[in-house]
Amino acid sequence: MKTETTNRKWQNHIKAKGIIPFFLDRLQQHALANAWQHGKGSFSFEIRDREQDDELTRMYFEMVEEFPYEFYVELTNKCNLDCTMCARPSMTRPTGVMKMQLFRKIIDEIAENQPFAFIHYYGIGESMVDKAIFTKLAYAVSKGLRNGLLFTNGQLLLTNENYKKLAEVGISNIGVDLDGFRPETYEAIRVGGSFAKAKEGIERLYQYIRDRNLRTRVEIAYQIVPGVNEGDLPAFVKWCNDNGYEYKLVPMHNWGGLRDDVGKSKVAGLGDLHHTKRETPCSYLWGNTTISWDGRMALCFFDADLRESVGDVNKSTIKQIWQGRHRQKRMAHVQGKFEGICAGCNCGTNIRLPQFNSGLYPEHLREAALVQGSPGAISAPE
């Protein structure tokens, strides 16, 4: 198959460069002020010119047609907090924790098909409430899948010195949410949480890693909640800069139309990132392969309630689902058709992929549109 050849070519390119691209720079332009971008540090992938850019973009799309590169594996959708901006209050699906047998099945297939995969070990919940979390992470690392990110609200970092276990388990990245820099601000957003616990957990985690020269990378995420925590931002940024902490600013979104009550931020550059008309296919269909705790595959990470589940990895393989119902959705986007939850979703509208029916997309995703002349069809050089 052409995609198999492309997959090998892509992986050989990575080996030759000695780097692991998390996502092509041009496909992951978040444009957030002072924000960490997924292509930073050990995952940097510099595009030097347009010709190279287009060739690598085409290669990437062909590679992921066979098997996805980036995954969200939801260890649990249970949580120890009631955050005001979360999808959980609107979520109707059952809560639970992923069984070890299912986790191993997922990891085994990823390791076999995509050894350079990047895995996010979280979903719509707090992963650290999973009592088997360190066993699961250690299993993934043992299969060669070190490249990944676990995000936590930080409330359990100090419990049983979990920050030490996280730093040493072997995954490459740890993220901690800190949406405020005063107790009254943080705790109004992260209801049930402690600002002091989260802040101290971050500080201990960083210090532990630095004292031992570990390779584990840490980032702090500050989600802008309009009218609540914008005033804390200067103090937060100063604290990060003074201590050499890596951080990113995160605008609110509507969870694929599940939370239409979100507002715009007043922080310069952040207000309209998720409130513009979608003008290109959504990048999350190529970069947010999400498997829920019970094995159902979501359309993307932002389909928090699995309103458009595309399959079940208990009954099928990831590859079968990806090349089946999920491919149909990617095809619709390439052809300029935004239906179902995509019609009301404002997530990722700031990330610009190639235009509809661009020659950079695999031919089988666009040829029907070119024949039928669907909305947004354009001619693009091969």
For 221, the enclosing helix (H) or strand (E) is strand 217-223
Percent of the chain at pLDDT exceeding 90:
52
Which band of pLDDT confidence, cut at 50, 70 and 90, is reported for residue 156? Answer: very high
Q: Is the pLDDT of residue 25 over 60?
A: no
Closest CA to 112 of 71, 68, 66, 143: 143
Compute the average pLDDT of residues 17-22.
38
The tokens for 337 are: 């058709």
- Confidence at residue 217, expressed as pLDDT on a 0 to 100 scale: 93
- Confidence at residue 226, expressed as pLDDT on a 0 to 100 scale: 85
The tokens for 256 are: 């694929």
How far is residue 251 from each of residues 51, 124, 148, 175, 193, measured CA to CA in Å?
32, 17, 22, 16, 21
Alpha-carbon distance of 349 to 279, in angstroms, equals 8
Alpha-carbon distance of 227 to 266, in angstroms, equals 8
pLDDT digits (tens, 9 = 90+) for 292-343: 999 999 998 888 899 999 999 999 999 999 999 999 999 999 999 998 888 8
DSSP 8-state code for residue 355: P
The answer to whether 29 and 269 have CB atoms below 8 angstroms apart is: no
The tokens for 311 are: 């399959």
Burial class (CB in 10 A: 0-12, 13-18, 19+), 139: middle
Mean pLDDT in the chain?
80
- Confidence at residue 378, expressed as pLDDT on a 0 to 100 scale: 29
Alpha-carbon distance of 73 to 121, in angstroms, equals 5
User: Which residue type does 354 have?
Assistant: P
Alpha-carbon distance of 36 to 235, in angstroms, equals 18
- Confidence at residue 48, expressed as pLDDT on a 0 to 100 scale: 38
Q: Which of 50-54, 172-176, 190-194, 208-212 has the lowest mean pLDDT?
A: 50-54
Compute the average pLDDT of residues 50-70.
77
Rg of the chain on CA atoms, in Å: 20
pLDDT digits (tens, 9 = 90+) for 73-122: 999 999 999 998 888 888 899 999 999 999 999 999 999 998 888 899 99
